[in-house]
Amino acid sequence: MSSQVWFITGSSRGFGHALATAALEAGDAVAATARRPEQLAGLVQRYGDRVLPVALDVTDPAAAAAAVQAAADRFGRLDVVVNNAGYANVSPIETTSEEDFRTQFETNFWGVYNVSKAVLPVLRAQGHGIVVQFSSVGGRVGGTAGLGSYQAAKFAVDGFTRVLQAETAPFGIQYVVVEPGGFATDWAGSSMKTPEVPAEYDPTVGELIRILGSGRASAGDPKRAGEILVRAVKHTPLPTHLLLGAGAAGMAQEYSQRQIAEAAAWEQVSRSADFGQPYPVELPAGKV
């Protein structure tokens, strides 16, 4: 299929806007969604009727279903669905309000759930489709102080997507989990709240806030990322997980190597938990 129809959440800025632009530059059509669709006027002015601006709050399941139906009605099919909308606030888990933690999760996980569920009947009926789920290298590696809700949601997106892949493979639906590192978007800008950090958490959470404020974590170019993704979804075979950024690639490989080393060190202990296996066995060398 030489041209594709995209459905992209969070298209008004950041990755979503860069990806929508890259797809349109490649000659594709885009249903571009945003909470405030008037922010998409520039795309409509530049690319005309190849853009369908759609109002969408991804935390609203009925709105997700209506947006998907509007896009399918307009273009006749959906080839690539991108769950990009998301945001993070930075604060220690201990002092983050339950409301804030849950509200972040509503967008970062339940938004993905709502849109993914809404598109499944369309993609299943078509017999094809690609779903691109934006996670983060933190959704693979984790452990970033101050991003408890955000990273928990990104881990959930990955697990959710792996199950979807298993369930819907007979329908011709494919999935890509995108795992960016730090990019020059507004992710750490006006959309991020950083309440005052207690002194006890200044060396950890406070340090992340200082790094984000300095711009040192924003080496990635969103324009390049959008162009890479447009090329990647047209490639066979698709990657199941696509890291973006030099930092993300390095962090993921180091983490995987540590996981393999630890699993190997504890292998005999792990095996000994089964009936019929030698038991007890010595723990790996170290302190008891």
pLDDT tens-place string over residues 44-62: 999 999 999 999 999 999 9
Q: What pLDDT shows up at residue 271?
A: 98
Residue 104 and residue 66 in contact, taking contact as beta carbons nearer than 8 Å: no
Cβ contacts of 80 within 8 Å, gap of 6 or more: 4, 5, 6, 7, 23, 129, 130, 131, 132, 233
CB burial of residue 203 (10 Å; 0-12, 13-18, 19+): exposed
pLDDT averaged over every residue in the chain: 94
Q: What average pLDDT does range 268-283 have in this prediction? A: 97
Of the candidates 11, 12, 135, 218, the residue annotated as catalytic is 135
| pLDDT bracket for residue 187 (50, 70, 90) | low
Q: What pLDDT shows up at residue 188?
A: 55
What are the angstrom distances between the C-alpha of 67 and each of 33, 72, 118, 122? 8, 9, 9, 12
Is the per-residue pLDDT at 129 higher than 60?
A: yes
| pLDDT bracket for residue 183 (50, 70, 90) | confident
Residue 61 and residue 110 in contact, taking contact as beta carbons nearer than 8 Å: no
Is the per-residue pLDDT at 125 higher than 90?
A: yes
| pLDDT bracket for residue 213 (50, 70, 90) | confident
Of the candidates 47, 150, 175, 201, the residue annotated as catalytic is 150
CATH superfamily of 5-244: NAD(P)-binding Rossmann-like Domain (3.40.50.720)
Sequential DSSP letters for 188-245: GTTT---PPPPGGGIIIIIHHHHHHHHTTT--B-HHHHHHHHHHHHTSSSPPSEEEES
Q: What is the pLDDT of residues 35-44, one digit of tens each?
A: 999 999 999 9
Q: What average pLDDT does range 191-214 have in this prediction? A: 89
Q: What average pLDDT does range 247-273 have in this prediction? A: 97
Q: What pLDDT shows up at residue 281?
A: 97
Of the candidates 154, 175, 201, 218, the residue annotated as catalytic is 154
Q: What pLDDT shows up at residue 2?
A: 74
User: Nearest-5° angle of CA 210, CA 215, CA 178?
Assistant: 105
| pLDDT bracket for residue 220 (50, 70, 90) | confident
Confirm whether 135 is a catalytic residue: yes
Q: Where are the domains of the chain?
A: 5-244
Confirm whether 154 is a catalytic residue: yes
Q: What pLDDT shows up at residue 26?
A: 97
Confirm whether 12 is a catalytic residue: no
